[in-house]
Structures are given as C-alpha cells and as structure tokens.
Structure 1
C-alpha cells in the first residue's frame, strides 16, 4: 500500500511552522541592537512595536480559550526584555525597580519549560469509577501563566519607553512569577494525586468487578467508532469499563457514557486494568495498540468493527488475531475467503447490525415520489491510495444533476473529509450549490452542521428517499431500508466494479473511474424512476445484514455477546 506524498518537505514544513516565531525573534533582536547603538530613543521603537504586534498575532486565539505557544516565543520575549533594560540603561531612565522587574519577568519566562513539563505529567487516570471519584484530574491552566508573562514583557517595554515608574513593571513581573509558581504547585500536587490513583487502580477495579472491557484507540475526532456500540454494550446489563490510550480519546468517551473510563497509555500499564473478574474484551477497530490487550489469553477477544463494507480494510488479515469476529452477515465471512484471507468458520459470529434497528423501511416505490430527497454521503480519501473511494472530486457534478431534476439533498460527507484540502474544497462547492438553490428556488436542502452533527446517520437515512454514496459501510446499513441507492465507481470502471465490490449488485453504479462521470442521466432515470433493482436489494439485505427476524434483530446480537460473558 502506498500513502500520499506529504504536502511539504521536512525542512520547509519546519520553516513554515517556525516562521512567525523566527520573525518575532529577528525583530526583537533588531530592537535590542538599536536600543544599544541608536542615537535617538525612537530608533528601537518601530522594531519593538512590530515584534510585540507579531507576538500578539501569534497568540490571537488564546484570549478565546485556544492554545498559546510558549516554547517558540521564549527567545523573542527574553530579547524584548533585554531591549527594555538596555534602552533604559543607555538613555538614562533605568531605575532599580525596573531593573529588578525585568529580571523577575525573565525568571518567570525561563520557568515556563519546567512548568509545561510538569503540566504534561498531569493527566486523568479514571472517570466514573467507584472509589476514585467521578471527576478526573484537570491539567493546570498554563495558558494563563504564559499570557501574564507576556503582559509583564509589554509593561516592561512601555515603562522603559515612557516616564511611567519602574515599580509598575516590578509589580506585574512579581505577579507573573507568583502565578508561575502557583501553577507549578498545582501541577505537583495533581501529579501526586495521579500517582495515588494509579497505585490503587487495580484494587479499585477488582472491587468494581467488571465482566468485560471495551478497548479503543483512534485519532481524535473519531468517537463515532465507539459511540455506535456503547448503547448496545450497555444493554448487556453487565459491569464494564472503556479502556482508552490517549487523553483525547478519554475526553471523547467521558462525554459519551457514564460507564467507567480508564486511561492507560503504555504497554506495561495495561496490567493495572486486568481485573480477575474480566471475561472478555471488545474492540471497535483494528488499531495497532489492540495487541497490547490481546496478549491476555484469559480473555475472549471479540472484534466488532465500526461498519461493514467491501473496502480493503474490511478483509484485513489482522482480523485473524481475534477469538471472535462479530459480523453483520454472511457477506463479511465470504469477503475474507474471496480475498485470500483464510479464517475458520468458528472465528465468525453473524450478529446483524444492531445500529439499524431504527432505520425506517421504504413504504412506497421511488417512482411514486414526485420530488425525492437524496442523501449524498460520500466517504473520505482513506489512509492509503488503494483505499481511496471518495466520489467528492466528482460530487458537485452528481449533485448538480440531482438538483436539476428537482430533488432536495441531504449532504453528509465523512468527517475525515476535512483532513484533505482538496476534499474540503469540494465539500464547500457542494454546500454553496445547495445554499444558492435553496435561496433561489426554496428547495429544502439539508447540509452543514444540521446534517453533519445535529442529525445522526440514521436520521439522515430516514429523512431520505434515495442515497448516493461510495464504497462505504453506510451503503450496507442503508440496504436495511430497502430504498434505492447508487454507488460511485471511483477505483474501478463500472463494468468491473461489482467484481471487486459485490454490494454494487444492489446499487445503480455511477461510473466516475478516472475522474470523469459517464452515463449519469441513464443511471438517474433508473435510480429515481423504474428502480429495477428493488428485488435484488431485498435479497442482498439478508446476505449483508443477516437473515434475522426484525422483531428480534438487536436481541440476537445481545444473546451472542452474552454467550462470552
């Protein structure tokens, strides 16, 4: 597999990231030199003002709660303090209060690296776990300390260039140093509290007596992977906890559940959570760190995954390391064999897709709907070029044709689409098209935050009469509705598309191979009109989503999971 080339080389990327800081340092150095050799007090002023202005621009998001750069601005702030000292000394206004104030401010700034290091050692261990308290430890507010240090630099500069008494700079600098010290004390006490929680973690979990754990490690912003399974795991009625491996994942899961959430980052820390009562571990993706838990042979390891599709990752040989793979239907089992991944039948359990329990089934043929609503749910570009199935590069053309036919559109791109500048640009083009049509013709399109965050995937399914998507797990889930759908063939020509992606047999395949859409009008005539694939969809629904009675669909999953607990 090949990955996309990085947008910048290592050096150019480093230079781009450091350019504002380097420019600020250069301006601060110029101000210092001009303060030392300039015959006029005003020589150093422009460079100092520009340096302070650029520093403020660098920190522009901090006042709204955003991050503030400390390490990259230490040199520039020390140079500005030195400039204030030299300017006052050369031009005769340096008093003891200002001199001491400059020194105290410099000491506060130089203490920031140690403060940041201590703060990084403050991270949560557990939330919602009886015996440890409900609220996890909070990291000290280092951003506030850095901003006050910046204010001390500004006050020192203003004092040196004006007739203001130096005691003002001393008072502000002393306050800054005091805040650094107080924040450091907070960090030390909270690190001690973390060590205390870690020391008794196994004993606390043993007393809690969990029956299973859910292991999740993923990039930030992908909580949908675990969010889709938590409601059903909770319905098992057994004590459990979620084990995460990063602070970002910890915060995401805490927002999703009242079940205990445990953060253990390192391999050797996993021993702290393997309580004697544990019987099984569930996984919702194939993250590399899953093998940190799989090594515990006393547990039954069950892979749930976070969707079923014909994508390459859905038949990855790594699935063989789990004791059980819960799959939606026989199609998933056959997919492994068809792609040369040999797995014995006992490694699989067909459990359906409980997440589709609230998907509404079509009640009338698409041809009877005068102005159908189309859900456009394109996937993203994938981590590798051989798993790039996104139709977004041609999505504008497809949606424009839908709009021309009087359709309303629900536009819900994959959340990872924003990771690509090209796909982000295509999303914006489609949103602009829908916004303009809604403004001019009053068509009730749904897009933006409404479709992407306020509505769930199932809400989008139920709000639509037909769907256009790619090789994606949403296609198999949409199959449950028995509504017509189209798949966009990006990685293979339409003529051979179903050889690689069998679910395409139930879809109207839009040929976009090579980046050019072909025969779109004919496909849309079938998709929105006669719908000759209606019976095929009903047959493949059982193959992909399990031949399970609707009234016991979710219970089938719960019964199978309970067998291992």
Structure 2
C-alpha cells in the first residue's frame, strides 16, 4: 500500500468514526420507532461490525435470513456502524439493534438467550464477541471464492463454518491445520435464491458484464484485474457493435492502489459519455449482484465471489488472473486470461455467449455448490442454522 493510500485509509476511517458518533442518536431513534427491541428469546443474531463500504456483505444474506426468521426466528441484526444500520433498515423488516459497544452486544446475548451468532467476514472486531460462551459462533462468510481469505486460519475460532460444498471443504482442510472437519457444514449458496426476471433484449447484441474485484489490502489478496485487463478490455468492447457493456466494479476498488484507482476512473469516464449511454453501455449499480449476473450473457470476472456466483447460475465465464498469485481450481475449468488480454477478447466473449456452457464448467459448478438449487440451499442453510442453535 502506497503512503498516499495509507493516508486515504486513515482519513476514511476517521470520517467513518466521526459520522458514526454524530449519527448514533438519530439512528437509535429511527430503529426504536421502526420496531421496539424484542422482549422474547432470540435464537439467532448476526453480528456485523464493518463499515458502509462493506454493507454488500450483509445485503446478500437478507433473503436467507428472512426465511430463517419466518421459520425458526426471530433473527436480529446486531450492527456496529450507524450508517450501516440506517441503510440496512431500508432493505428488510428484520429486527435491527445498534450494538456499537461490546457491552451492548453481551447484554443483548445474555438477556435474550441467544443460541447462535452469525459472522459474515473475519473483521478484527469479531474477536470480542467470540469470547462469549453459550451461543454457537458460526462463520457464514459473504461469498464463495478461491481467495486466500476463504481458508484463513481465523476459521478455527468458530464452532461451525458454513461452506458452499465439497470444493470449499477440501480447500479449507488442505490449508487450515488441525481444523475439525465436523465443523464444516455444506449449505450451497443460498444467496443465489433471489427472484429475478431478465428483460427481453431490444437487439441482438451480447451483454458482457465485467465485474472485477478490488486490489485487496495485501499482496496475498491482490486478485483485481482493473490495472492489468480492465481499461483495455472496456475500450475494445466499446469499439465493437456486437456487444453491450455492463461494468460492475467491487465497492472497494481503487482504495489501496493508485493504478487501480486510475483504471477505475478511466473506465468510468469512458462509460459516462453521451455516446456510451445512447449505445446502452452503463455502469451497473444494481444492488443485488444476482440480478446483474442474470442480466448478462457472458461474464468477465476475477478470482472472487462474483465468478463463483456466475458459475452457480450457469453463466458463461472468463476468469482474469493478474499474475503473481496462485489461483484455485476454477481457472482449470473456465476460459482464463492470464496477465493480460488475448489478441481477440471480444471474439472469444461473443463465441462463449452464443453456445451452451461447457460441460466441464457445469461439472465443476456441482462440485462447488453441491446441495443443488439455490432454493435447496435456502433449506440447507435453515436446517444448519437450526442445528447450530440447538443446545448440546
């Protein structure tokens, strides 16, 4: 991370903290007016301690959590950041508590006999609630991918780790020493169970979704392709009248790397021209990534959850590898561009879009998401959550 990026990060964190302090009374009033604090036992809570730029991690779990709430709830979201709480309150009727101190969290857990606490990432703030004995601590994660964060040694801190399927299980057992295999519970990808309708195309162009991940916060997480592939790819796509471009960068893109930030600005500028808008090219601001994936005919992704979700939804996929990092098994089952673009990237994408998804990709998808359809994954998640909440 460059000195400038470090400074930006400090400024961003300071701004977030000040905003949280100022917003806390307002958000508490909003939540109290929306629905009073529960008085009954609460079997399930979600603890989310991250900042607004990471809200997408919680957003994609809303529907599965609502199903769990309807069947075996209540489910309460314990959120540390007031901005996140205010945002999520617009998306769901699930109960929300602003638990911005460890004392608040602990009192809530004790008062309501919480039996399972869910975590969506490995935020350092998770360490404090993990000290509490009594409830089961369950790592849900916020996406299935082959990033190094998916097999972090931190997973050993949880009583259960809900994984997508056999590929995820094998990955964790290969990298996390002495982890208990019985704590790895396959549930598929319930976040994909989102009702979507793809509108009829107004012309015969191929819709290409370019969805790069961010550059990461360290060398072992630098999977982003914005600097290596992004600008060149978008320029070629815009110059070819066979395709329509959707660009969906990761919310954190450009936060730690000048080259990625520059590429992001250039691509954004290219897609913001009047000519690009008239031609139907756009920056994709769809809140739910599943809707974005279903809208596309073919996807270009990095090592990320977006790539795995495209796999799970049966979409033709190209994987970008920026170089320098060892990729997982996905790169051996889909078309992969290593280090940069091939000589004719648009031709490849058009060809992939108009033919059936390769049998090899379909077979690997079943290995990654082994429990079946997204609806079956919802059922598997609810059953696993109920199991985790049952006292021994």
Range into which the TM-score falls when normalised by the shorter chain = 0.7 to 0.9
Q: Give the whole-Å Cα distance in 2 for the aligned partners of 1:520 and 1:486.
A: 15
In structure 2, how many angstroms separate the alpha carbons of the residues matched to 1:323 and 1:9?
35
Contact between 2:213 and 2:303, CA under 8 Å: does it hold in 1?
yes
**Does 2:154 align with 1:321?**
no
Partner of 1:431: 268
Q: Secondary structure at the match of 1:564?
A: helix
Cα gap change, 1:125/1:518 in structure 2, threshold over 3 Å: closer, same or farther? Answer: closer
Higher share of residues assigned strand: 2
Whether 1:233 aligns to 2:62 is no
Contact in 2 for aligned 1:128/1:259 (Cα 8 Å): no
Deviation string for 1:495-551 (max 9, x for gaps)? xx7x63211122211122xxxx25342x65444326697011110111112242566
User: Taking structure 1 as reference, are residues 518 and 467 closer, same or farther at Cα in structure 2, changes over 3 Å only?
Assistant: closer
Secondary structure of 2:128's aligned partner = helix
Aligned to 1:6: 3
Q: Which has the larger radius of gyration?
A: 1
Checking the alignment, whether the CA contact within 8 Å between 1:128 and 1:260 is kept in structure 2 is no
Q: What is the TM-score normalised by the length of structure 2?
A: 0.82
1:519 is matched with 342
2: CA distance, partners of 1:441 / 1:509: 29
The gaps in structure 1 that reach 5 residues or longer are 17-66, 68-115, 137-200, 363-368
Contact 1:361 1:480 in 2 (8 A): no
Report the 3-state secondary structure (helix = DSSP H, G, I; strand = E; otherwise coil) of the residue aligned with 1:286.
coil
Q: Secondary structure at the match of 1:134?
A: helix
Q: Write the distance in 2 (CA, Å) between the matches of 1:505 and 1:361.
A: 31
Which of 522, 526, 540 in structure 1 is aligned with 2:364?
Answer: 540
Compare relative contact order (CA 8 Å, sep 6+) and give the higher one, 1 or 2: 2
Secondary structure at 1:313's aligned position in 2? helix
Matched, 1:500 2:327: yes
Instruction: Measure the CA separation in 2 of the matches of 1:227 and 1:403.
Output: 31
Counterpart of 2:216 in structure 1 is 382
State how 1:304-343 maps to structure 2 within 5 Å: 304-343=140-179
1:246 to 81, 85, 88: 81
Higher helix share: 1
| Residues 135-163 of structure 1: per-residue CA shift (max 9 Å, x gap) | 69xxxxxxxxxxxxxxxxxxxxxxxxxxx
Whether contact under 8 Å (1:388, 1:491) holds in the other structure is: no
Determine the structure 2 residue equivalent to 1:260. Answer: 95
Q: Partners in 2 of 1:313 and 1:291 — Cα distance?
A: 16
Provide the rounded CA distance (Å) in 2 between the counterparts of 1:327 and 1:127: 37
Show the 5 A alignment for 1:467-486.
Answer: 467-486=299-318
Report the TM-score when normalising by structure 1: 0.59
User: Could you tell me whether the CA contact under 8 Å between 2:193 and 2:375 is conserved in 1?
Assistant: no
Cα distance between partner residues in 2 of 1:256 and 1:372: 32
1:234-273 deviation line (CA, Å, top 9, x unaligned): 2112112211223333323333333332223333443321
1:299 aligns with 2:144: no
How many angstroms apart in 1 are the aligned matches of 2:224 and 2:82?
30
CA deviation map 1:210-237 (0-9, x unaligned): 1211100112222111111122112112
The one of 196, 202, 205 aligned to 1:371: 205
